[in-house]
């Protein structure tokens, strides 16, 4: 009897709650720590702003883990509606035509107002098809910049941040002479010292518009510019101007400990550097080689975007569309940009941040945005769309390491990397054709 009563209460409750239940939208993401809390905050603000939909953010581990679990979930037909995928996974997502719901189409189908020109083209270009239509929604984008230790610069009698790689060399020599052990170190070597080096000098990284033109793309990063740069860095590694510190962003430790006076790293590394650097630091644009290009081009982005997956109800997709619109709002974007250090994705968010005086109060935070938005992106600076890009980056890491350790010269190393990388591209082409 008692049990029966309890059961009826439970049933009653569940009927009552289903009456008001908002449509649930699952969002798998890879934002840990403070950014993860911010993601929850954004979702909560959206949920509170209306009562038809409820976005549920789920932290799935790092980028690779998030992407792998979303794919595994898709194969088991348990996929979330939205998943955050890092930039190197873009080609894999795009090629999976039956698995993704392109954002431009989703917006149209659900009748959401969607003006693609409101977004920063240097950001959205990476995630658009050849007709310029957005396939995924950029969420956290960053671009490489140069951080430098102002205190060490002052001690060495240097008044200006280096603009070109020639400057980096001369500044480093002065720093070394003043007793600093290393001129600069870098994070994410493939992204910064090859992919962005190519973009900055408007030189192709791969054929067919860096892969935007189709799966038949071939790697081109063994050209004279890249070889000269890598060769020079190999020499710098010997002379102490450059010090290699691993494949990810472990080099930060060398910058914090003032072992290295400069650090090329993502613009999103700003918050971490601000927290850990016990000295005055500045942010400069990513250097370029003087004489190799008249006006340096925009750099390309890294980070991740939000992909919508197939297999959900129309109602859910309506919710997804309205959530994506909400995310693009200037106020939401500006808040996210200022909090996390990732780039704003719309012009309105950029202007709003400027208006609020954020850049004045936090010098250096605007550098990445300015660098991204100078000039119109060309076929060489829009981004990269390469299949099996994770493996290709691994191949590049290995090649660069063999140059830094002095085992091989730059030309041989990059030729091997291109050859091995092309094999990965052909494999991807075969699997996705």
Partner 1 sequence: MTVTFPQKGLPWLLLLPQLLVTAIFFLWPAEQALEQAFYQEDAFGLSREFIGLENFAALFTDPLYYQSMLTTLVFSFSVAIVGMSLALLLAVMADRVIRGKLAYQTLLIWPYAVAPALAGVLWWILFDPSMGPIALWLKSAGVDWNHYLNGNQAMILVVIASTWKQISYNFLFFLAGLQAVPRSLIEAAAIDGASPFKRFWTIVFPLLSPTTFFLLVVNLVYAFFETFGVIDATTKGGPGQSTTTLVYKVFNDGFVGLDLGGSAAQSVVLMAIVGLMTVIQFRFIERKVQYS
User: Which residues here bind partner 1, judged by CB under 8 A?
Assistant: 64, 67-68, 71, 74-75, 92, 95-99, 244-248, 250, 253-254, 257, 259, 388, 390-391, 394, 397-398, 401-402, 404-405, 407, 427, 430-432
Q: Which residue has the tokens 């996210």?
A: 336
User: Minimal distance in Å, beta carbon 278 to partner 1?
Assistant: 14
Q: Quick one: 66 or 380, whose CB is closer to partner 1? A: 66
Q: Quick one: 308 or 372, whose CB is closer to partner 1? A: 308
Q: Quick one: 41 or 409, whose CB is closer to partner 1? A: 409
- Burial track 179-192 (b if 16+ CB lie within 10 A, e otherwise): ebebbbbbbbbbbb
- H or E, element range at 145: strand 144-149
The CA-CA-CA angle for residues 361, 366, 370, to 5°, reads 155
Q: How far apart are the first and last CA of the chain?
A: 64
User: Minimal distance in Å, beta carbon 245 to partner 1?
Assistant: 6
User: Minimal distance in Å, beta carbon 239 to partner 1?
Assistant: 15
Q: Quick one: 174 or 247, whose CB is closer to partner 1? A: 247
User: Minimal distance in Å, beta carbon 96 to partner 1?
Assistant: 4
Number of helices (H), then strands (E), belonging to the chain: the values are 21, 9
User: Minimal distance in Å, beta carbon 395 to partner 1?
Assistant: 10
User: Minimal distance in Å, beta carbon 423 to partner 1?
Assistant: 8
The answer to whether 410 touches 230, Cβ cutoff 8 Å, is yes
Q: Give Cβ neighbours of residue 56 (< 8 Å, ≥ 6 apart).
A: 24, 25, 26, 27, 43
Q: Quick one: 98 or 357, whose CB is closer to partner 1? A: 98
DSSP 130: T
Q: Judging by beta carbons within 10 Å of its beta carbon (0-12, 13-18, 19+), is residue 409 exposed, middle or buried?
A: middle
User: Minimal distance in Å, beta carbon 210 to partner 1?
Assistant: 20
Q: Quick one: 348 or 390, whose CB is closer to partner 1? A: 390
User: Minimal distance in Å, beta carbon 310 to partner 1?
Assistant: 10
> Tokens in use for 190?
């493939």
Alpha-carbon distance of 386 to 422, in angstroms, equals: 10
Q: Quick one: 334 or 417, whose CB is closer to partner 1? A: 417
> Which phi and psi (to 5°) does residue 94 adopt?
-60, -40
Q: Quick one: 93 or 343, whose CB is closer to partner 1? A: 93
Alpha-carbon distance of 20 to 40, in angstroms, equals: 22
Q: Give Cβ neighbours of residue 348 (< 8 Å, ≥ 6 apart).
A: 118, 330, 333
> Which phi and psi (to 5°) does residue 218 adopt?
-130, 145
């Amino acid at each position: 009897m008692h049990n029966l009563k309890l059961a009826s209460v439970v049933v009653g409750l569940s009927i009552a709650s289903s009456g008001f239940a908002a449509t649930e939208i699952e969002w798998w993401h890879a934002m840990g720590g403070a950014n993860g809390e911010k993601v929850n905050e954004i979702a909560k603000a959206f949920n509170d702003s209306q009562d038809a939909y409820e976005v549920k953010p789920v932290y799935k581990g790092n980028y690779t883990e998030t992407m792998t679990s979303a794919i595994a979930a898709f194969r088991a037909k348990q996929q979330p509606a939205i998943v955050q995928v890092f930039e190197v996974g873009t080609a894999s997502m795009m090629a999976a035509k039956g698995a993704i719901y392109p954002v431009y189409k989703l917006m149209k189908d659900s009748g959401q107002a969607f003006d693609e020109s409101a977004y920063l083209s240097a950001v959205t270009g990476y995630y658009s098809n050849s007709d310029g239509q957005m396939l995924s929604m950029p969420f956290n984008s960053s671009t490489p910049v140069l951080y430098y230790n102002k205190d060490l610069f002052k001690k060495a009698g240097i008044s200006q941040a280096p603009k070109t790689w020639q400057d980096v060399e001369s500044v480093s020599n002065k720093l070394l002479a003043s007793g600093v052990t290393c001129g600069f170190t870098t994070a994410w070597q493939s992204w910064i010292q090859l992919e962005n080096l190519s973009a900055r000098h408007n030189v192709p990284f791969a054929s067919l518009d860096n892969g935007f033109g189709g799966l038949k793309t071939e790697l081109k990063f063994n050209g004279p510019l890249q070889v000269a740069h890598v060769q020079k860095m190999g020499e710098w590694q010997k002379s102490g101007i450059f010090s290699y510190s691993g494949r990810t962003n472990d080099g930060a430790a060398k910058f914090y400990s003032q072992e290295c006076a400069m650090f090329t790293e993502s613009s999103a590394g700003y918050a971490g550097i601000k927290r850990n650097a016990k000295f005055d630091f500045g942010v400069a644009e990513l250097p370029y080689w003087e004489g190799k290009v008249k006006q340096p081009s925009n750099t390309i982005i890294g980070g991740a975007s939000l992909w919508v997956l197939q297999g959900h109800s129309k109602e859910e997709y309506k919710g997804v569309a309205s959530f994506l619109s909400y995310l693009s709002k200037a106020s939401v974007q500006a808040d996210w940009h200022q909090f996390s250090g990732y780039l704003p994705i719309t012009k309105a968010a950029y202007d709003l941040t400027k208006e609020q005086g954020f850049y004045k109060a936090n010098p250096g935070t605007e550098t990445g945005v300015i660098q991204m938005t100078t000039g119109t992106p060309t076929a060489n600076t829009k981004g990269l769309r390469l299949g099996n890009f994770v493996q290709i980056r691994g191949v590049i890491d290995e090649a660069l390491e063999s140059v830094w350790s002095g085992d091989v010269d730059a030309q041989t190393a990059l030729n091997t990397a291109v050859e091995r990388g092309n094999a990965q591209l052909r494999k991807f082409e075969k699997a996705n054709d």
